[in-house]
Structure 1
Amino acid sequence: MIVGGTAIAGSSKKARKRYLRMVQSVQLTSSAPNFTRVDNPSIGFSEEDAQRLHHPYDDALVVSIQAGDYNMHRVLVDNGSSTDIIYYSAFQQMGISRERLVPTNAPLVGFGGTRVYPLGVVTLSVTMGDYPHQITKDVIFLVVDCSLAYNAILGIPTLNAWKAVTLTYHLMIKFPTEYGVGELRENQIAVRECYVAMMEMDDHLQMMNIEEQRTVVELVENLEEVPLDDSRLERTMRIGTLASQSAQQALVTFLKENKDVFSWSHKDMLGIDPSIIVHRLNVSPSFSPIRQKKRVFTPERDQAIAQEVQKLQEADFIREVYYPDWLANVVMVKKANE
């Protein structure tokens, strides 16, 4: 089961609470908001639908769809997923630019409680079924960087939007179309291939893609601190001590001759070209900008903030703006050196 993402409940705590209140209201009053009802053909399954399958089986429902201009195989149909997912490896093979990804801060919570943060959201046109009994609609996928045998997951949002009915015994999906009931059967060979691939996959690789592993590394050699500017003794560099004395001396001489390439303070990095590095805020465009109420800091913190802001202004890293669209308070973080 996969919980979270961009489901109707929303990604913010306030939106989730609002959705819960709406559900409770419907349960208590037995009434829901009116919406246009469309007559659809009745959908049913028969024993004939279960033919051409290898029995007995406990296979997952894996199908092929057309996503954009590509025929995508190994798509898992998951009635327990609250979102639609496409894995980053498939996203790359489709040649989609990362600029199409819309940032999102909605984490996914799966088996074992592990949190996975998507790379972003992308909307793709998906076609399912055979002509003329087929359906084409835009699907909002969360792009997730994990190592799995599947290329994508179709979850509850798409199944509900398409009014699709899944049946694991028949290993197929049926859905209403303008020309009757469409159907999509699974490929049992692809399911078995996915199963074998998952069993042979390195567990450590999967965990590395889901959650960052912290490794404590010991130093292989002691470091010696040497001054590079005799007039400014605080400008130092640390070098290894395993090299020979002549190699160490040659390295120190080289560093002193090129000491002007090092940045010792903000003032030494005036005017960084945006083509080298740019910092952008990972803010979802679906959220309205909010001005935070100004916090009151202690005199010690106020002084530290003023000094840091002054350094950044003198180096042209930041500039003062008026009437901002949004405003956030300064966050103080104590470093290891106090």
Structure 2
Amino acid sequence: MARIDNPSIGFLEEDARLLHHPHNDALVVSIRARDYNMHRVLVDNGSSANILYYPAFQQMGISRKRLVPTNAPLVGFGGTRVYPLGVITISVTVGDYPQWITKDVVFIVVTCSSAYNAILGRPTLNAWKAVTSTYHLMVKFPTEYGVGELRGNQVAARECYVAMMEIDDHLPTMNIEKQRTVAEPVEELEEVPLDDSRPERTTRIGTLASPSIQQALATFLKENKDMFAWSHEDMPGIDLSIIVHRLNVSPSFPPIR
């Protein structure tokens, strides 16, 4: 096949034709790591590192002696710190022949509980010059013979989501003491009635402004009291896409009470 230099990467609506819409599913893919097909790999643009979870590391038959020690902890959402077992470099292949690439990926091995086997973060995505689309659940990357594709598995993504929720349910809960006040108003507020016939309909304005500005603001609010909503009846004509709640579940599962 002829080589293609700098292929253009884009996404079409056809790329999403096999997915259930609407969705907010994660981008979960399968890769070839060494001589193994590794499933349940999360593609995470927000991760600054590539993560390999220890159960997957064990199943690949890699000796723990090959881990390169590291002292840098991983800091997760909420500031939690995880100290890794070490670092390992693994050859990873993605795509289908001939639009495929094989690159060495540096993984940080951790022992945390997870429904995923690994996480591909920004270092790998940038090294591959990859472009991700969460709507299409797909990763595209340039190769010598055109644009390679790595499709996400929507079923696996939802299974991982359920599994992660079950893992969270088994974690010990934290006892939270009385909350400390972290924000206070910068000025006192004065209550202003908007409708003399409905004294319960009020709002508040600041008191640091001059009396003339306070009076002008109160008059302005009273003249536009119809812009305030006190009940659902005061908000006719709202688009149902805004006010109707829908459960983002697979259409193949019937609702059960």
Alignment TM-score, normalising by the size of structure 1: 0.49
Q: What stretches of structure 1 of length at least 5 have no aligned partner?
A: 1-37, 208-338
- 2 CA distance for matches of 1:107 and 1:199? 24
Match of 1:178 in 2: 144
User: Which amino acid is 1:79 matched to?
Assistant: N
CA contact (8 A) 1:67 1:126 kept: yes
**Residue aligning to 1:55:** 21
Distance in 1 between residues matched to 2:172 and 2:101, nearest whole Å: 34
Identity of aligned residues (%): 82
Contact 1:124 1:138 in 2 (8 A): yes
Per residue, is there more helix in 1 or in 2?
1
The AA in structure 2 aligned to 1:74 is R
Larger relative CO (CA 8 A, sep 6+): 1 or 2?
Answer: 2
8 A contact 1:147–1:206 mirrored in 2? no
Tell me if 1:80 matches 2:46: yes
Partner of 1:111: 77
Q: 1:191 aligned to 139, 154, 157, which one? A: 157
Deviation at 1:42, TM superposition (A): 0.9
Corresponding position of 1:160? 126
Question: 1:44 maps to what in 2?
Answer: 10
Deviations 1:67-108 (A, max 9, x none): 011000000000000010000011011111001100001111
Secondary structure at the counterpart of residue 198 of structure 1: helix
Does structure 1 conserve the Cα–Cα contact (< 8 Å) formed by 2:43 and 2:120? yes
Residue 204 of structure 1: how far off its partner (Å)? 4.7
Equivalent position of 2:98 in the other structure: 132
CA gap of 1:96–1:134, structure 2 versus 1, over 3 A, is same
Q: Matched residue of 1:194: which SS?
A: helix
Is this contact kept in 2: 1:86–1:151, CA < 8 A?
yes
What is the Cα deviation at residue 173 of structure 1? 0.3
Paired position in structure 1 for 2:36: 70
Aligned to 2:230: none
Q: Which residue of 2 aligns with 1:93?
A: 59
Counterpart residue identity of residue 147, structure 1: S
1:122 corresponds to:
88
RMSD: 1.6
Cα 1:48–1:206 change in 2 (3 A) is farther
CA distance 1:197–1:102, change in 2 (3 Å)? same
Q: In the alignment, residue 130 of structure 1 is paired with which amino acid? A: D
CA displacement at 1:154 relative to structure 2: 0.2
- Distance of 2:121 and 2:172 partners within structure 1: 21
Give unmatched runs, 5+ long, in structure 2: 174-257
Residue deviations 1:231-270 (CA, integer Å, cap 9, x gap): xxxxxxxxxxxxxxxxxxxxxxxxxxxxxxxxxxxxxxxx
Contact kept in structure 2, 1:147 and 1:205, CA below 8 Å: no
Report the number of matched residues: 170
**Structure with greater strand share of residues:** 2
